[in-house]
Amino acid sequence: MGEKSKPRGHGTSRRKNATTQRDAHVAAGGDLHQVAGGKRPALTTNQGTTISDNQNSLRANTKGPTLLEDFVLREKIMHFDHERIPERIVHARGTGVHGFFELTTSLERYTTAKILTEVGEKTPLFARFSTVAGGAGSVDTPRDVRGFAVKFYTKEGNWDLVGNNVPVFFIQDAIKFPDLVHAVKMEPDRGFPQSASAHDTFWDYISLTPESMHMVMWIMSDRTIPRSLRMIEGFGVHSFRLIDRKGASTFVKFHWRPKLGLQSTLWDEAVKIAGADPDFHRRDMFEAVTAGNPPEWELAVQLFTQEQADEFPFDHLDATKLIPEELVPLQVIGRMVLDRWPNNFFAETEQVAFCPANIVPGIDFSNDPLLQGRLFSYLDTQLSRLGSANFHQIPINAPKCPFANQQRDGHMQMTQPVGRVAYEPNSLSPDSPREAASGGFASAAIPETGDKSRIRAESFADHYSQARQFYLSQTPYEQAHLASALVFELSKLEHLHIREAMVGHLRNIDEDLAARVAAGLALTPLPTAPAPAAPVQKFDPSPALQIIGKMKDTLAGRAVGILIADGSDGKAIEKIRKAAKAAGATVKVVAPKVGRVELAGGSVAAVDGQLAGTPSVMFDAVAIVLSDAGAKTLSKESAAIAFVADAFVHLKAIAVDAGGQVLLRKAGVKPDAGVVDCADVKGFITAAKTRQWEREKSVRMLA
C-alpha cells in the first residue's frame, strides 16, 4: 500500500461526529431541512414520532452492534421488506443451480465449522445469481450488480453466504437501504426506467451520498456488464468472524474466483444482446450445465486479526471499503462446482430463501452496520414473500441434516408434531429436543462498551480514497470504459445540478476522470469539488481490481460462431470447428435459414441458428466461410453486414475466406491483426482468446 496516514473520521467530538453526514450532504449540494422555519415537514415514523437521524442506526457504541430496540430502523426496513408481494424487491431476476462445495485446505486453526475443517468432504449447495434493480421479467444484461448467493447444506445446518459480484456496497448503514433502492428503482410517478440506473432519482441520491463513490466506480466499470455468470467473481462483502475451539475469533472475508476467469462485454454489445436474447445469461448457464461443462469457482479467504485491522488505513467494518489483496493475500481453501440444473424453476430458484443470519457453529458476525441490518431484513422479507414462518420447510430451503425444535403450527405447516409438549424446558417429554451447551452455536465473546447513539464511527468518514485507488488500478481501456459509462448515465439526467454535483465528486477521486466526464457532458468550467469529510489518501494501485489484466488466455467456456451459406467450404468449416472445440469453446453454425445448408461438393451441414436471430453479439469470436455466390447474396442482407460489422466494433477475432472478405468490404471493415484468413486456424484461435483492444480507438469515441 502507499501512504498509511490514519484517516480522520467524522470529527474529534461526539457533536462533530453526529453532524458529519449532514455536513457531507450540504457539501454535496444539498441543504438542511428547515423544519423549524416551516419550509419542509419534519420526517417522522408512521406513529408520528419525529426522526432526528435518518442516516445512522442505533448502536451500542460508535463501532458496536446495532440494537434491536431501534424502532426507527425496524419500522423503515420492515415496511420496505413488505412493499412487493411475492416478487423479490431486489434481486428479483435470478438463475439458480445445484452443486457441491469441496474443502481442499482446512481452517481448523481458526474455526470449528465442519464445512471449513473437513478436507475432501463434499457439501451439497444451491447457488443463485441475480440482477439487483430489475423485476423478474427484466433482461439479463443490464449494467447492474450481480447477486452471488450460496446456500450450503452442511452437517451442522444451513450456511448462507449472501453476497455480490462486487466486494463493496453503496452505503455504510442498513437504515439507508430503503432509500437507495427507492432511488434506483423505476421512478414511482412514471414506472420507468426498468432495470437501469441512468435516471435522475438514482443519481440525485448518489450525489447526496458521498459514501457511495467507491461503489460508483465499480458499477460504472466493466464488472457490471459481465459476459457470463460463469465468469464473475463473488464476494461476501462484509467481514465475518471465525471462532476456534477456545472461543478466540479471527476476521474473515470470503471470495469466489471463477475457474474460467473474468470476462465482460462492451456496453454497446450488452445492449444488443438484450435485444437478441433477454435470457442470455440464464441460457448460457443452462447450456453449460446440461452439456456437462459445470462452471467452477475457487473459494478463497482473507484472514486477519483485530490487531491487523487496527493498522489498516480504513475500517474493514465499513461495507464501502475492501481489503486489497496486496495487503491481505487471498488463501484458496476449496472449490464450488455447479453441476445440476433445477427440476422446477419456481419450486427451487424462485422459492429459495437466503439469509445472512443463517450461519453454523464456528462462524459469527462482525459489527458492520450494514450486515447488522441485513440480519433482520432478509428474514422479514421472506416471511412476506413466502407467506409463512414455515418457509424453511420448502424442500429447497430445508436443511439436509436433522433439525428439531418446539416451534408449532402456522400457515402451511407441513410436518405433524406429536405429543403434548411444545415448550422447552419441560419435564414431561424426555425425548423432546433440548439445548446443547457443548457443540452448539456460541457467539464470539467480544466486549462492548460505550454510550448507545446514532453516531457513525469517524473511521467511516473517508469516501474517496478507495474510489481513487480503484480507478487508478484499471487499465487505460477500462478507465475509458468507466468514464464513458458515467457520461452515458449522467447524460440521461434531466437536471443539470445533479450532473454538476457528480462531476464535483469525481474531482475528489481523480481530476483526469472528472475532466473526461465533464468534457463528455459539455460542462465548463469544471464544477467545484465538495470538501471531503476526511483527507483523500494515496493508495498504490491494485492490479487485482482489473478485469483485462486478469483475463485468462483461454477459449474455455466461450462461444465461436461460423457464418455460412449454400456453397460454403465444408473442409474449412470443419477445421475451425475442430480447433475451437479443442480449445474448449462451443461452436454454433449460423446461416440464412435454419435446418440445413448444402456445402460445396454436395455435403450437408446442420445449422444451429438463423442469421437474423443469431447475431454476432452471441459469440466471442466469429468465422465467415462463404462461396462467391453466398457472399454476393449475403452482401444484400443487412443482418449479414451487421454480423460482420458488430463483430469488428466489438473487438472480436474474425476469420474470413475470399467470400468473407467480400462481406468485410461491404461492411466497411478494414482488416487488422485480429482479422485472419480461414486457412490460418491456429492464428484465429490465438486471436479469439482475447479482445482486440488496440482496435477500439479506431472504432469508438470514448471519454
Task: Please list the active-site residues.
Answer: 91, 164
Q: Tell me which residue of 556, 104, 634 sits closest to 293, measured CA to CA.
A: 556
CA dist 374 and 354 (Å) reads 11
Residue 439 in grid coordinates: 457443540
Residue 557 in grid coordinates: 467456456
Three-state DSSP at 200 gives: helix
CA dist 305 and 291 (Å) reads 44
CA dist 614 and 559 (Å) reads 12
Please spell the DSSP secondary structure of 126-154, one letter per residue: EEEEEESSS-TTS-S-SS--EEEEEEEEE
Q: What are the phi and psi torsion angles at 22 (to 5°)?
A: -65, -40
Buried b (16+ CB within 10 A) or exposed e, 145-164: bbbbbbbbbbebbbbbbbbb
CA dist 173 and 209 (Å) reads 12
Three-state DSSP at 235 gives: strand
State the burial class of residue 203 (Cβ atoms within 10 Å of its Cβ: 0-12, 13-18, 19+).
buried
Residue 222 in grid coordinates: 466493466
Q: How many residues are listed for the chain in this entry?
A: 703
Residue 285 in grid coordinates: 448457464
CA dist 639 and 645 (Å) reads 10
Is residue 527 reached through a cis peptide bond, with omega within 30 degrees of 0 on the bond before it? Answer: no
Q: What are the phi and psi torsion angles at 130 (to 5°)?
A: -155, 155
